[in-house]
Amino acid sequence: MLVVERQGLPVGVLVESAQRSEVKLAEATLAMIRVPRRIGRPKTRPKEVVADKGYDSDTLRWKLRARGIKPCIPRRRNALPRAGRRPNLQGYKERWKVERTFAWLFNFRRLVVRWERSHHIFLAFLLIACIIILLGAISG
């Protein structure tokens, strides 16, 4: 799982086995975010989480709102209709930046085809790719 900031630069990553549901990993991935500030503790709570329909879960929405995070997750087509107003999905228009970050990561062929058996080695290569992307953003 990957968390990016507003410009599409990676902020946090989490590598798990393919059998785990992404909804269950969302909280653990958000817990990895630590954005340092000049004074005080690092920022650990984003203002908004933009995710695709794979994260459509009332439990996840409830947990995000309990932490003060605005969820921007569209409903699945087969989801039961909910009473009340339609959700505001203005932030979902920016989701292309996440897909662009995945395209940047897939430029590293070793990440596209996962050759490593150990997830620690895969995570190391993923972190190296993220560092290269961030250095490119700083120098470019």
Grade residue 135 by pLDDT with cuts at 50, 70 and 90: very high
**If you search the block for the tokens 């794979």, which residue do you land on?**
54
Average pLDDT over residues 36-62: 88
Entry field: residues in the chain: 140
In 3D space, the residue among 94, 96, 107, 93 whose CA is nearest the CA of residue 136 turns out to be: 107
List, for residues 71-86, the tens digit of each pLDDT value: 888 888 777 767 666 6
Q: How many CB atoms lie within 10 A of CB 54?
A: 12
Average pLDDT over residues 65-70: 90
Please give the sequence-ordered ranges of beta strands (E in DSSP) within 43-86, or none if there are none.
Answer: 48-50, 70-72
CA-to-CA distance for 72 and 64, rounded, in angstroms? 10
Q: Which of 17-21, 71-75, 134-138 has the highest mean pLDDT?
A: 134-138
In 3D space, the residue among 14, 13, 22 whose CA is nearest the CA of residue 53 turns out to be: 22
Q: How many CB atoms lie within 10 A of CB 51?
A: 21
Please give the sequence-ordered ranges of beta strands (E in DSSP) within the chain, or none if there are none.
Answer: 2-4, 10-13, 48-50, 70-72
CA atoms within 13 Å, Cβ hemisphere of 56: 13
Is the per-residue pLDDT at 4 higher than 80? yes
pLDDT number for residue 77: 79
Is the per-residue pLDDT at 119 higher than 70? yes
**What pTM, to 2 d.p., does this model score?**
0.79
Could you state, in order of their start, the residue ranges of all structural domains in the chain? Answer: 2-139
Is the per-residue pLDDT at 104 higher than 90? yes
pLDDT number for residue 28: 85
pLDDT number for residue 85: 61
The phi and psi torsions of 2 (rounded to 5 degrees) equal -135, 135
